[in-house]
Amino acid sequence: MVFARRADYAGCRAGTISPRGWRFRHADAFRSGGGGRLPKAPPPRTPAAPQAGAFDPEIEDRSSIEEPAMSLRPSEDRCSSLPLGGLWPALLTPLDPAGQPAWDVLEHLVELYIAQRLDGLYVGGSTGQWPLLTVPERETLAERVIRTAAGRIPVMVHVGATSTADAVRLARHAASVGAQAVSTVAPTYYPHSADVVFEYYRAVGQAAESPLYVYHLSMVNQLRLPPEDYVARLLSLPRIAGMKITDLDLNLFGLIRAHAGDRLRLFSGADEVLCHAVLSGSVGAIGSFYNLWGPACRQARDAMVRGDVAAATDFTRRFQLAISRILGSGSLWSFLRAAMLRRYRLDIGMPRPPLGTLSRTWDDRQVAELLALVDPEAA
């Protein structure tokens, strides 16, 4: 099955503009102290046709790109009209100097990723600081993103929580405000048996009234199941549609794909193996660094899907080097703040403590070098 183009989502084409034209048209405003905010996108227009022979990843026709096939089971048809896939940023939650959500910056982030023609938004995950937000804040976060997206880009809301009651509340809320899907990590902190974890997933799936994507996060995963049993349990869940698998062990990813076949849509969640995961059967990728390098990462993944291994390999080498240097510094959050400010003139602030408490200040030259390492146009 040919993966649905971004423009095929309801209203997507009508609400997007060329990110390149938007960004450069307002370059003077960015430099002249616009308060670190992107201007609102202008009224919809028809994207200009590229020059003959020119390649523009932002308006590339992806209709020829093949993705792993999937057929929804009859019980899921009413949950989703189009299969989800492609490149999704795990959306940052911007905070103001007082540590409160900066809703205006959040809305500009949503507009930015729509303008870049990314494939979806994953809201309220680890990058979105979900453990440090209150339930009402998480509800408002979902509402603001979905309202701003206005049907132009799919939105998946992470509703995982330590308490089943909180997760169920968030799942119901996400469905009520129009989320295309919900996702949940396994319940954290307390040790739980596999039976308890799957009862938690079942409660979330029953409450959601939206497709459910289980979030397998290796750093908190408590399940020790053979892949075949893992898949069998997943397929018994109500409204199950797929998984987000954040694990550098792609052997597990591949085995889940082998046992699930086309019954689960699998997103890779480890940015470092964005392209590798295509070989293991991923239909898309959700990650932190796609906030910063979304178009370049999407182009690289698309190259891998097309079979352009040389281009994907070259990008992966540079991307992994950059990620290694950033994570190795122990100052991820201050890097993201400095890089988003430099590239997009958006101040996402620092996270709530203890995240980022001892992060060092990045030199502007170092930030520019890392930006350019991944995407020469980003510096």
Whether 211 and 156 have beta carbons less than 8 Å apart is answered as: no
Look at residues 260, 304, 252 and name the one whose alpha carbon lies nearest to residue 278.
304
Catalytic residue, chosen from 113, 122, 201, 215, is: 215
Q: What is the Cα–Cα distance from 197 to 164, expressed in whole angstroms?
A: 10
Sign of CA dihedral 217, 218, 222, 228: positive
Q: What is the 3-state secondary structure (H, E, C) of 192-244?
A: CCHHHHHHHHHHHHHHHCCCEEEEEECCCCCCCCCHHHHHHHHHCCCCEEEEE
Query: What angle in degrees, to the nearest 10, is found between the helix axes of 290-306 and 309-328?
Result: 150
Q: What is the Cα–Cα distance from 38 to 34, expressed in whole angstroms?
A: 8
Whether 289 and 297 have beta carbons less than 8 Å apart is answered as: yes
Indicate if 244 belongs to the active site. yes
Whether 303 and 276 have beta carbons less than 8 Å apart is answered as: no
Catalytic residue, chosen from 122, 244, 290, 344, is: 244
Q: Which residues are catalytic?
A: 215, 244
